[in-house]
Amino acid sequence: MKPKLILCLALVLGGHCFAAITYPQAPDGGSEVVIKYLGLQSLKFLKVSRVEDLTIARPFAEYHVTNLTDLSSKNFLVAAKQGVWLYQLAQGTNAVGEVGLMPGRRSGNRLEFEHLSGMGSTHATLDGLRVAERLPQIKNQDYELRRLDIAPMLFHSVWLHGKSDDILIPLPPTFGRWKANEPYSEAQMLALLKPEVEKTRQAWKSFAPK
């Protein structure tokens, strides 16, 4: 037997699958790649006995902003580049981890294994999704589910991308710079990021060779 593939992990965990939060179309064959890498060591890491006990959620993409200069732009989300496809995993009603797959350099659009993460990032993302479910904006238009990573700022968030606006829900840890699991517009998030960008630049300068 193989793990079940479902639309969203919230169904497994007793929540709702959000009608106005959409999932992008990932390249074919991703779930088979996930299963391939769920060997003995991976299952031990996830604290799962059998691969048949797992449920694989439909994937969504993680995006990255790596250049601090891009964070000074009014529309900094335009600079975000798509990275891995994230497949979240559950055992029964417990989230246990996620697998990241990346289009291979030699295999064209075919997905290849990139990383396996524990339940910490999965739980954080699910908490952000539960916040997203309650937002009044999703009753008015569809939003594509994404996750945003800004490595220089140690920033991670659920990203709801809509035609007319974007909503960011920062995930912990936030180190007191903004509130975890609170919705922000792109402009609101940029206003909070800008002073942190300057602090990071100054810190980098202090370590630069003289």
Q: What is the pLDDT of residues 32-60, one digit of tens each?
A: 999 999 998 999 999 999 999 999 999 99
Q: What is the reported pLDDT for 210?
A: 61
- 183 Cα distance to chain centroid: 15
Q: Average the pLDDT over each of 34-43, 70-79, 134-143 and give the range with the smallest value.
A: 70-79
The DSSP output letter for 134 is T
pTM of the model: 0.89
Q: What is the reported pLDDT for 11?
A: 67
Residue 166 has pLDDT above 70, yes or no: yes
Q: How confident is the model at residue 208 (pLDDT cuts 50, 70, 90)?
A: low
Own/partner long-range contacts of 153-156 (Cβ < 8 Å, ≥24 apart): 153/71, 153/193, 153/196, 153/197, 153/200, 155/193, 156/121, 156/124
Residue 150 has pLDDT above 70, yes or no: yes
Q: Average the pLDDT over each of 97-111, 124-138, 144-158 and give the range with the smallest value.
A: 97-111
Element spanning 8, H or E = none
Q: What is the reported pLDDT for 157?
A: 97
Paired strand residues for 64: 81, 149
Q: What is the reported pLDDT for 19?
A: 59
Residue 190 has pLDDT above 60, yes or no: yes
Residue 30 has pLDDT above 80, yes or no: yes
Q: How confident is the model at residue 204 (pLDDT cuts 50, 70, 90)?
A: confident
Q: How confident is the model at residue 108 (pLDDT cuts 50, 70, 90)?
A: low
